Protein backbone atom coordinates (compact mmCIF):
# COMPACT_ATOMS: atom_id res chain seq x y z
CA UNK A 1 0.00 0.00 0.00
CA UNK A 2 1.40 3.38 -1.02
CA UNK A 3 1.06 6.71 0.71
CA UNK A 4 -1.60 7.87 -1.78
CA UNK A 5 -3.80 5.04 -0.52
CA UNK A 6 -3.60 6.49 2.99
CA UNK A 7 -4.13 10.23 2.57
CA UNK A 8 -6.22 12.19 0.04
CA UNK A 9 -5.06 14.65 -2.60
CA UNK A 10 -5.09 18.33 -1.73
CA UNK A 11 -3.90 20.22 1.34
CA UNK A 12 -3.80 17.86 4.33
CA UNK A 13 -4.98 18.84 7.79
CA UNK A 14 -5.61 17.22 11.15
CA UNK A 15 -5.11 13.48 11.47
CA UNK A 16 -4.19 13.16 7.78
CA UNK A 17 -0.91 14.93 8.50
CA UNK A 18 -0.19 12.42 11.25
CA UNK A 19 -1.09 9.52 8.93
CA UNK A 20 1.48 10.85 6.47
CA UNK A 21 4.20 11.03 9.11
CA UNK A 22 3.24 7.62 10.51
CA UNK A 23 3.75 6.21 7.04
CA UNK A 24 7.19 7.85 6.95
CA UNK A 25 8.23 6.29 10.26
CA UNK A 26 6.88 2.85 9.41
CA UNK A 27 8.51 2.77 5.98
CA UNK A 28 11.73 4.59 6.93
CA UNK A 29 11.27 7.42 4.48
CA UNK A 30 11.23 11.18 4.93
CA UNK A 31 9.26 13.92 3.24
CA UNK A 32 11.22 16.96 2.07
CA UNK A 33 9.87 20.43 2.45
CA UNK A 34 10.70 23.25 0.08
CA UNK A 35 10.42 26.95 0.87
CA UNK A 36 8.46 29.14 -1.52
CA UNK A 37 9.90 32.65 -1.76
CA UNK A 38 8.07 34.10 -4.74
CA UNK A 39 4.58 33.99 -6.16
CA UNK A 40 5.72 31.51 -8.83
CA UNK A 41 8.78 30.07 -7.11
CA UNK A 42 8.42 26.65 -8.73
CA UNK A 43 5.55 25.53 -6.55
CA UNK A 44 3.53 24.28 -9.51
CA UNK A 45 6.62 22.54 -10.86
CA UNK A 46 7.17 20.94 -7.46
CA UNK A 47 3.59 19.69 -7.38
CA UNK A 48 3.77 18.44 -10.96
CA UNK A 49 6.91 16.43 -10.14
CA UNK A 50 5.11 14.81 -7.21
CA UNK A 51 2.16 13.98 -9.42
CA UNK A 52 4.45 12.26 -11.89
CA UNK A 53 6.13 10.14 -9.21
CA UNK A 54 2.98 9.73 -7.11
CA UNK A 55 4.38 11.28 -3.95
CA UNK A 56 3.30 13.95 -1.43
CA UNK A 57 5.14 17.20 -0.79
CA UNK A 58 5.60 19.75 1.99
CA UNK A 59 5.52 23.36 0.78
CA UNK A 60 6.20 26.13 3.22
CA UNK A 61 6.51 29.86 3.60
CA UNK A 62 8.96 31.76 5.77
CA UNK A 63 8.38 35.11 7.44
CA UNK A 64 10.70 36.89 5.01
CA UNK A 65 9.36 34.99 2.02
CA UNK A 66 5.81 35.86 3.03
CA UNK A 67 6.66 39.57 3.13
CA UNK A 68 8.17 39.18 -0.33
CA UNK A 69 4.92 37.61 -1.55
CA UNK A 70 3.03 40.69 -0.44
CA UNK A 71 5.48 43.06 -2.09
CA UNK A 72 8.28 45.33 -1.00
CA UNK A 73 5.94 48.32 -1.11
CA UNK A 74 4.09 47.25 2.04
CA UNK A 75 5.28 48.09 5.53
CA UNK A 76 6.00 45.10 7.72
CA UNK A 77 6.37 46.90 11.05
CA UNK A 78 3.66 44.76 12.64
CA UNK A 79 4.16 41.73 10.37
CA UNK A 80 1.16 42.77 8.28
CA UNK A 81 2.96 42.11 4.99
CA UNK A 82 4.16 38.71 6.19
CA UNK A 83 0.63 37.82 7.29
CA UNK A 84 -0.91 38.84 3.96
CA UNK A 85 1.82 37.10 1.99
CA UNK A 86 1.44 33.86 3.90
CA UNK A 87 -2.31 33.87 3.33
CA UNK A 88 -1.75 34.56 -0.38
CA UNK A 89 0.61 31.57 -0.60
CA UNK A 90 -2.29 29.37 0.42
CA UNK A 91 -3.50 29.58 -3.19
CA UNK A 92 -1.77 26.19 -3.38
CA UNK A 93 -5.14 24.92 -2.18
CA UNK A 94 -6.67 25.79 -5.54
CA UNK A 95 -4.35 23.53 -7.55
CA UNK A 96 -3.12 20.74 -5.26
CA UNK A 97 -6.28 18.65 -5.47
CA UNK A 98 -6.44 19.08 -9.25
CA UNK A 99 -2.92 17.66 -9.53
CA UNK A 100 -3.91 14.72 -7.34
CA UNK A 101 -1.08 15.42 -4.89
CA UNK A 102 -1.21 15.44 -1.07
CA UNK A 103 0.35 18.70 0.14
CA UNK A 104 1.36 19.78 3.63
CA UNK A 105 1.11 23.58 3.64
CA UNK A 106 3.44 24.78 6.37
CA UNK A 107 4.91 27.97 7.84
CA UNK A 108 8.55 27.84 8.93
CA UNK A 109 10.57 29.29 11.85
CA UNK A 110 8.57 31.75 13.92
CA UNK A 111 10.77 33.19 16.65
CA UNK A 112 9.41 35.05 19.68
CA UNK A 113 9.93 38.41 17.99
CA UNK A 114 7.76 37.25 15.07
CA UNK A 115 4.74 36.06 17.07
CA UNK A 116 2.55 38.74 15.50
CA UNK A 117 3.05 36.89 12.20
CA UNK A 118 1.99 33.64 13.86
CA UNK A 119 -1.04 35.32 15.43
CA UNK A 120 -2.15 36.65 12.05
CA UNK A 121 -1.83 33.28 10.33
CA UNK A 122 -3.65 31.51 13.14
CA UNK A 123 -6.48 34.05 12.99
CA UNK A 124 -6.77 33.34 9.26
CA UNK A 125 -6.85 29.61 10.02
CA UNK A 126 -9.66 30.08 12.52
CA UNK A 127 -11.67 32.21 10.09
CA UNK A 128 -11.19 29.63 7.32
CA UNK A 129 -12.20 26.84 9.70
CA UNK A 130 -15.50 28.54 10.51
CA UNK A 131 -16.41 28.48 6.83
CA UNK A 132 -14.80 25.23 5.63
CA UNK A 133 -14.41 23.09 8.79
CA UNK A 134 -10.67 22.87 8.26
CA UNK A 135 -7.78 25.35 8.70
CA UNK A 136 -6.09 27.26 5.92
CA UNK A 137 -2.66 25.77 6.70
CA UNK A 138 -1.71 22.20 7.52
CA UNK A 139 0.90 23.14 10.11
CA UNK A 140 2.86 25.95 11.69
CA UNK A 141 6.28 26.04 13.34
CA UNK A 142 7.10 27.84 16.56
CA UNK A 143 10.85 28.32 16.93
CA UNK A 144 11.35 29.51 20.49
CA UNK A 145 14.67 27.71 20.83
CA UNK A 146 16.42 30.89 21.96
CA UNK A 147 14.04 31.24 24.90
CA UNK A 148 14.35 29.40 28.26
CA UNK A 149 13.00 25.86 28.00
CA UNK A 150 10.10 26.51 30.37
CA UNK A 151 8.97 29.57 28.39
CA UNK A 152 9.39 27.71 25.10
CA UNK A 153 7.18 24.83 26.22
CA UNK A 154 4.59 27.05 27.92
CA UNK A 155 4.17 29.21 24.81
CA UNK A 156 3.86 26.15 22.59
CA UNK A 157 1.20 24.72 24.91
CA UNK A 158 -0.76 27.99 24.81
CA UNK A 159 -0.84 28.07 21.02
CA UNK A 160 -1.33 24.32 20.59
CA UNK A 161 -4.53 24.51 22.63
CA UNK A 162 -5.90 26.79 19.89
CA UNK A 163 -4.40 24.84 17.00
CA UNK A 164 -5.32 21.26 17.88
CA UNK A 165 -9.14 21.68 17.91
CA UNK A 166 -9.14 23.02 14.34
CA UNK A 167 -6.71 20.44 12.98
CA UNK A 168 -3.37 22.26 12.73
CA UNK A 169 -0.14 20.34 13.27
CA UNK A 170 2.47 22.04 15.46
CA UNK A 171 6.19 21.83 14.80
CA UNK A 172 8.29 23.21 17.63
CA UNK A 173 12.04 23.60 18.02
CA UNK A 174 14.13 23.04 21.11
CA UNK A 175 17.87 23.47 20.85
CA UNK A 176 19.46 25.62 18.18
CA UNK A 177 20.30 24.68 14.61
CA UNK A 178 23.56 26.34 13.60
CA UNK A 179 24.19 28.33 10.44
CA UNK A 180 21.77 30.68 8.72
CA UNK A 181 18.29 30.17 7.32
CA UNK A 182 15.71 32.65 6.08
CA UNK A 183 15.14 35.08 8.94
CA UNK A 184 17.19 33.07 11.44
CA UNK A 185 20.96 33.54 11.88
CA UNK A 186 22.68 31.29 14.41
CA UNK A 187 26.17 31.36 12.92
CA UNK A 188 27.70 32.62 16.16
CA UNK A 189 26.02 30.17 18.51
CA UNK A 190 28.21 28.23 20.91
CA UNK A 191 28.57 24.59 19.83
CA UNK A 192 27.25 23.38 23.19
CA UNK A 193 23.85 24.82 22.25
CA UNK A 194 23.68 22.65 19.13
CA UNK A 195 22.67 19.57 21.10
CA UNK A 196 19.29 19.01 22.70
CA UNK A 197 19.17 16.78 25.75
CA UNK A 198 16.82 13.77 25.63
CA UNK A 199 15.25 14.95 28.88
CA UNK A 200 14.25 18.23 27.23
CA UNK A 201 12.63 16.45 24.32
CA UNK A 202 10.66 14.23 26.65
CA UNK A 203 9.46 17.28 28.59
CA UNK A 204 8.14 18.71 25.33
CA UNK A 205 6.43 15.44 24.46
CA UNK A 206 4.84 15.16 27.90
CA UNK A 207 3.43 18.69 27.74
CA UNK A 208 2.09 18.59 24.18
CA UNK A 209 0.85 14.99 24.01
CA UNK A 210 -1.70 15.76 26.71
CA UNK A 211 -3.35 18.10 24.18
CA UNK A 212 -3.01 16.15 20.92
CA UNK A 213 -0.59 13.72 19.24
CA UNK A 214 -0.34 16.02 16.21
CA UNK A 215 3.03 17.67 16.78
CA UNK A 216 6.66 17.22 15.82
CA UNK A 217 9.95 18.28 17.36
CA UNK A 218 12.85 19.91 15.56
CA UNK A 219 15.62 19.03 17.98
CA UNK A 220 19.25 20.08 17.71
CA UNK A 221 21.56 17.12 17.18
CA UNK A 222 24.59 19.14 16.14
CA UNK A 223 22.99 19.79 12.76
CA UNK A 224 24.50 22.88 11.14
CA UNK A 225 22.45 22.98 7.95
CA UNK A 226 23.95 19.83 6.55
CA UNK A 227 25.26 17.63 9.38
CA UNK A 228 22.78 15.60 11.40
CA UNK A 229 23.78 13.41 14.32
CA UNK A 230 20.76 11.91 16.09
CA UNK A 231 21.33 10.64 19.58
CA UNK A 232 19.27 8.45 21.85
CA UNK A 233 16.26 10.75 21.99
CA UNK A 234 13.78 8.16 20.73
CA UNK A 235 15.13 5.52 23.10
CA UNK A 236 14.88 7.82 26.13
CA UNK A 237 11.29 8.86 25.41
CA UNK A 238 10.33 5.28 24.56
CA UNK A 239 11.63 4.09 27.92
CA UNK A 240 9.83 6.89 29.78
CA UNK A 241 6.60 5.93 27.99
CA UNK A 242 6.89 2.27 28.90
CA UNK A 243 8.34 1.00 25.65
CA UNK A 244 5.01 0.94 23.80
CA UNK A 245 6.72 2.38 20.71
CA UNK A 246 10.37 2.33 19.70
CA UNK A 247 9.96 5.71 17.99
CA UNK A 248 7.29 7.72 19.77
CA UNK A 249 8.61 11.05 18.48
CA UNK A 250 8.05 12.75 15.14
CA UNK A 251 11.43 14.38 14.52
CA UNK A 252 12.31 17.08 12.00
CA UNK A 253 15.66 17.53 10.26
CA UNK A 254 16.47 21.21 9.78
CA UNK A 255 19.40 22.18 7.58
CA UNK A 256 19.08 19.30 5.13
CA UNK A 257 20.85 21.00 2.23
CA UNK A 258 24.24 19.46 1.52
CA UNK A 259 23.57 16.28 3.49
CA UNK A 260 24.87 12.98 2.17
CA UNK A 261 22.66 9.99 1.49
CA UNK A 262 24.22 8.23 4.48
CA UNK A 263 23.53 11.16 6.82
CA UNK A 264 19.92 11.29 5.70
CA UNK A 265 19.52 7.53 6.16
CA UNK A 266 20.88 7.80 9.69
CA UNK A 267 18.40 10.56 10.47
CA UNK A 268 15.47 8.62 9.02
CA UNK A 269 16.47 5.49 10.94
CA UNK A 270 16.13 7.57 14.12
CA UNK A 271 12.58 8.64 13.33
CA UNK A 272 13.01 11.78 11.23
CA UNK A 273 9.88 12.23 9.11
CA UNK A 274 10.52 15.67 7.60
CA UNK A 275 13.66 17.23 6.18
CA UNK A 276 14.01 20.90 5.33
CA UNK A 277 15.73 21.77 2.05
CA UNK A 278 16.20 25.38 0.97
CA UNK A 279 19.77 26.38 0.11
CA UNK A 280 20.26 23.73 -2.59
CA UNK A 281 17.01 24.59 -4.36
CA UNK A 282 17.70 28.34 -4.23
CA UNK A 283 20.92 27.82 -6.14
CA UNK A 284 19.24 25.41 -8.57
CA UNK A 285 16.55 28.03 -9.23
CA UNK A 286 19.22 30.61 -10.06
CA UNK A 287 21.21 28.12 -12.14
CA UNK A 288 18.25 27.54 -14.45
CA UNK A 289 17.96 31.26 -15.23
CA UNK A 290 21.73 31.74 -15.39
CA UNK A 291 22.19 28.98 -17.94
CA UNK A 292 19.34 30.32 -20.07
CA UNK A 293 20.81 33.84 -20.08
CA UNK A 294 24.28 32.60 -20.98
CA UNK A 295 22.90 30.46 -23.79
CA UNK A 296 20.51 33.07 -25.20
CA UNK A 297 22.33 36.30 -24.34
CA UNK A 298 22.36 37.49 -27.97
CA UNK A 299 18.56 37.28 -27.96
CA UNK A 300 18.15 39.21 -24.72
CA UNK A 301 19.97 42.47 -25.42
CA UNK A 302 17.20 44.19 -27.38
CA UNK A 303 13.52 43.70 -28.15
CA UNK A 304 14.28 43.33 -31.85
CA UNK A 305 17.43 42.07 -33.54
CA UNK A 306 19.40 38.89 -32.94
CA UNK A 307 21.84 36.58 -34.78
CA UNK A 308 18.98 35.46 -37.04
CA UNK A 309 18.39 38.97 -38.39
CA UNK A 310 18.25 42.66 -37.50
CA UNK A 311 14.45 42.67 -37.69
CA UNK A 312 13.84 39.44 -35.80
CA UNK A 313 11.78 39.87 -32.59
CA UNK A 314 13.05 38.52 -29.26
CA UNK A 315 9.80 38.41 -27.29
CA UNK A 316 9.72 34.62 -27.16
CA UNK A 317 13.07 34.73 -25.35
CA UNK A 318 12.52 37.57 -22.84
CA UNK A 319 8.95 36.61 -22.00
CA UNK A 320 9.18 35.88 -18.23
CA UNK A 321 7.23 32.66 -18.68
CA UNK A 322 10.05 31.33 -20.85
CA UNK A 323 13.06 32.02 -18.64
CA UNK A 324 11.18 31.37 -15.44
CA UNK A 325 10.28 27.94 -16.79
CA UNK A 326 14.02 27.30 -17.06
CA UNK A 327 14.44 28.16 -13.38
CA UNK A 328 11.61 25.77 -12.59
CA UNK A 329 13.37 23.00 -14.50
CA UNK A 330 16.58 23.64 -12.56
CA UNK A 331 14.70 23.58 -9.28
CA UNK A 332 12.81 20.42 -10.14
CA UNK A 333 16.04 18.70 -11.16
CA UNK A 334 17.48 19.48 -7.73
CA UNK A 335 14.30 18.26 -6.07
CA UNK A 336 14.62 14.97 -7.94
CA UNK A 337 18.15 14.67 -6.56
CA UNK A 338 16.82 15.30 -3.05
CA UNK A 339 14.15 12.65 -3.54
CA UNK A 340 16.74 10.12 -4.64
CA UNK A 341 18.84 10.62 -1.50
Catalytic residues: 108
Measured in degrees and rounded to the nearest 5, phi and psi for residue 142 equal -105, 120
Q: How far is CA 320 from the centre of its chain?
A: 26
What's the alpha-carbon Rg for the chain, to the nearest Å? 21
Contact 169, 159 (CB under 8 A): no
66-82 burial: b if 16+ Cβ within 10 Å, else e: bbbbbeeeeebeebbbb
Contacts 24+ apart (CB under 8 A), 287-296: 287/330, 288/326, 288/327, 288/328, 288/329, 288/330, 288/331, 289/323, 289/324, 289/326, 289/327, 289/330, 291/326, 291/330, 292/322, 292/323, 292/326, 292/327, 293/323
Query: Of how many residues is the chain composed?
Result: 341
Contact 280, 255 (CB under 8 A): no
Amino acid sequence: MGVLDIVPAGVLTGDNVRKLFDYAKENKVHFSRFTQKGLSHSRNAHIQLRRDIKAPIILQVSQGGSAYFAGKGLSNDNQQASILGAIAAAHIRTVAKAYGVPVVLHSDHCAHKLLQWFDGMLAADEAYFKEHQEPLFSSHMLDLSEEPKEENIATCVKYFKRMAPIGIWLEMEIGITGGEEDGVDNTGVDNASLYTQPEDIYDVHAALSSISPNFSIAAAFGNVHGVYKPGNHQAYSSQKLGGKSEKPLYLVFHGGSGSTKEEIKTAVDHGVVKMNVDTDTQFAYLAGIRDFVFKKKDYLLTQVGNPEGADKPNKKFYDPRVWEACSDLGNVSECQIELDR
